Amino acid sequence: MPKVLVSDPIDQVGIDILSQVAQVDIKTGLPPEQLVQIIPEYDALMIRSGTRVTADVIDAGKNLKIIGRAGVGVDNVDVTAATRRGIVVVNSPEGNTIAAAEHTLAMMMSLSRYIPDANQSTKSGKWDRKSYTGNEVYNKTLGVVGLGKIGAHVATVARAMGMKLLAYDPFVSVERAEQLNCRLVELDMLFQESDYITLHIPKTPETANLINAAAIARMKPTTRIINCARGGIIDEAALAAALQEGKIAGAALDVFGSEPLGESPLTALGKEIVLTPHLGASTEEAQVNVAVDVAEQIRDVLLGLPARSAVNIPGLRPDLLEQLKPYLQLAETLGNLVGQLAGGRIESLNIGLQGELATNQSQPIVIAALKGLLSHALQERVNYVNASIEAKERGIRVIETRDASVRDYAGSLQLTAKGSLGEHSVTGALLGDNEIRITSLNDFPINVPPNRHMLFTLHRDMPGIIGSIGSLLGGFNVNIASMQVGRKIVRGDAVMVLSIDDPLPDNILEEVKKVSGIRDAYTVTL
**Residue from 71, 80, 100 nearest 295 by CA:** 71
Q: Which helix (H) or strand (E) holds 524?
A: strand 518-525
Does 280 participate in binding ligand NAD (rule CB under 6 A)? yes
Which window, 274-282, 379-387, 401-409, 488-496, contacts ligand NAD (CB under 6 A)?
Answer: 274-282
24-58 per-residue burial string, b: 16 or more CB within 10 A, e: under 16? beeeeebeeeebbeebeebbbbbbbbebebbebbb
Does 95 participate in binding ligand NAD (rule CB under 6 A)? no
Looking at beta carbons only, is 69 or 224 nearer to ligand NAD?
69
Does 42 participate in binding ligand NAD (rule CB under 6 A)? no
Instruction: Figure out which of the listed residues 69, 271, 278, 459 binds ligand NAD, where binding follows CB under 6 A.
Output: 278
Which of these is catalytic: 48, 278, 299, 424?
Answer: 278
Instruction: Figure out which of the listed residues 147, 163, 197, 496 binds ligand NAD, where binding follows CB under 6 A.
Output: 147
Looking at beta carbons only, is 206 or 284 nearer to ligand NAD?
206
CA-to-CA distance for 231 and 229, rounded, in angstroms?
Answer: 7
Specify whether 236 is catalytic: no
Which window, 16-24, 62-70, 198-206, 358-366, contacts ligand NAD (CB under 6 A)?
Answer: 198-206
* Helix (H/G/I), strand (E/B), else coil: 179: helix
CA-to-CA distance for 85 and 298, rounded, in angstroms?
Answer: 17
Looking at beta carbons only, is 201 or 498 nearer to ligand NAD?
201
Closest distance to ligand NAD from the beta carbon of 153 (Å): 8
Specify whether 356 is catalytic: no
C-alpha separations of 435 from 257, 302, 319, 453, 501 in Å: 54, 26, 20, 17, 20
Q: CB–CB of 400/417 below 8 Å?
A: no
Q: Distance between terminal CA atoms of the chain?
A: 28
Q: What residue type is assigned to position 311 of the chain?
A: V
Specify whether 259 is catalytic: yes
Which of these is catalytic: 230, 299, 424, 459?
Answer: 230
Which option in ligand NAD, ligand 2HG, none does residue 151 bind, with CB closer than 5 to 8 A by kind?
ligand NAD
Does 73 participate in binding ligand NAD (rule CB under 6 A)? yes
Angle at 440 between CA 434 and CA 441, to 5 degrees: 130
Closest distance to ligand NAD from the beta carbon of 180 (Å): 11
Does 168 participate in binding ligand NAD (rule CB under 6 A)? yes
Angle between helices 284-302 and 12-19 (to 10 degrees): 10
Q: What residue type is assigned to position 385 of the chain?
A: V
Looking at beta carbons only, is 2 or 280 nearer to ligand NAD?
280
Closest distance to ligand 2HG from the beta carbon of 49 (Å): 4
Helices and strands in the chain, H and E counts:
17, 22
Which option in ligand NAD, ligand 2HG, none does residue 201 bind, with CB closer than 5 to 8 A by kind?
ligand NAD
Looking at beta carbons only, is 151 or 339 nearer to ligand NAD?
151
Instruction: Figure out which of the listed residues 97, 112, 354, 414 binds ligand NAD, where binding follows CB under 6 A.
Output: 97
Angle at 510 between CA 506 and CA 511, to 5 degrees: 120
The residues in 228-257 that bind ligand NAD, with binding defined as CB under 6 A, are 228-230, 254-255
Does 291 participate in binding ligand NAD (rule CB under 6 A)? no
Residues with catalytic function? 230, 259, 278
